[in-house]
Structure 1
Amino acid sequence: MINKKLILGVLVAFFSIPIAMAQSADIEQEIKQLSQQKWQWMADKDADKLAELFHEKAKFVHMGGTWGKDREVDIIRSGGIHYKEADVHETMVEVLNDKTAILWNRITLLAVVGNNEVTNPFMVTEVYVKENDNWQLADLTFSKLLTRD
């Protein structure tokens, strides 16, 4: 006699795969859009919207150091770093589960640091976590790329 529970379990798993894949694709798209929005808020120096996006325990890794949310928001608000334009060349997203996603952007960043306008190629890693039905940026790491431009 065939085990009805086993057959039912296999059928449920089989039909759940497309649903899980669709949910993952939806999360990927949501994270990509959120990242694009973040770059625009940085260009606009919209520190209030960024403060809402950044997780309370977020870390920001730059060429000049690592710091938390409050310092990053203060730096953007004061113009210490002005992320004028992020030219995004490539984006990849990995959804780990329904509460964690990692995005990688290969960008050319035009920024004003202090009084100096600089352009650098970066691979930027963004880690997003979902809390209270909202995605928040928990980590933003800039890795400078070596190029022969």
Structure 2
Amino acid sequence: MKTLIILLFFSIISIASAHAQSNTPAKAEQEIIKLSKTKWDWMADKNVDSLSTLFDEKAVFVHMGGSWGKEREIAVIKSGSIHYKKADIHSVSVNIIGNTAILLNNITLLAVVGGNEVSNPFIVTEVYVKQGKGWKMGSLSFTKINQPAQ
């Protein structure tokens, strides 16, 4: 009887553990999607303090006009050289590979660039790396697409 109880206990623990592990990727995906949406709000609001915390020191940013690191991206946002006014998100997908999350957004971005308001369809790739209990952005890349974002 004692053996049966012990077996039953370990079976329940194993099932619960397997269930928790199977929910972990979905939970991480939702966390990344929420973080990405919040990042777009911070960019629109020029909230460079929150963005500075989110962006890893080694982060890279790829735009239509070039690529650069964290310091320059923060300066660009703070100065308003690029003002990310609104990102209309049409679709989102997330892939988790180990401690790395790759998010793809299909968006229409309304921005002010060089004093001109522009709207462009993009596929945006965001790469996040889990560090401790939080996520840091390692890369943000804009790829302009020819047809309107859907």
Alignment partner, residue 30 of structure 2: 29
1:37-76 residue pairs with structure 2 within 5 A? 37-76=38-77
Alignment partner, residue 127 of structure 2: 127
Indicate the percent of aligned positions where both proteins have the same amino acid: 54
Alignment partner, residue 103 of structure 1: 103
Alignment RMSD (CA, Å): 1.8
Alignment partner, residue 116 of structure 1: 116
1:148 deviates by: 6.3
Q: Deviation string for 1:17-36 (max 9, x for gaps)?
A: 43222000000000000000
The amino acid that maps onto 1:138 is G
Structure 1, unaligned stretches of length 5 or more? Answer: 1-11
Q: 1:148 to 1:29 in 2, by over 3 A?
A: closer
The amino acid that maps onto 1:35 is S
Q: Deviation string for 1:6-63 (max 9, x for gaps)?
A: xxxxxx9877543222000000000000000000000001011101000000000000
Q: 1:119 to 1:27 in 2, by over 3 A?
A: same
Structure 2, unaligned stretches of length 5 or more? Answer: 1-12
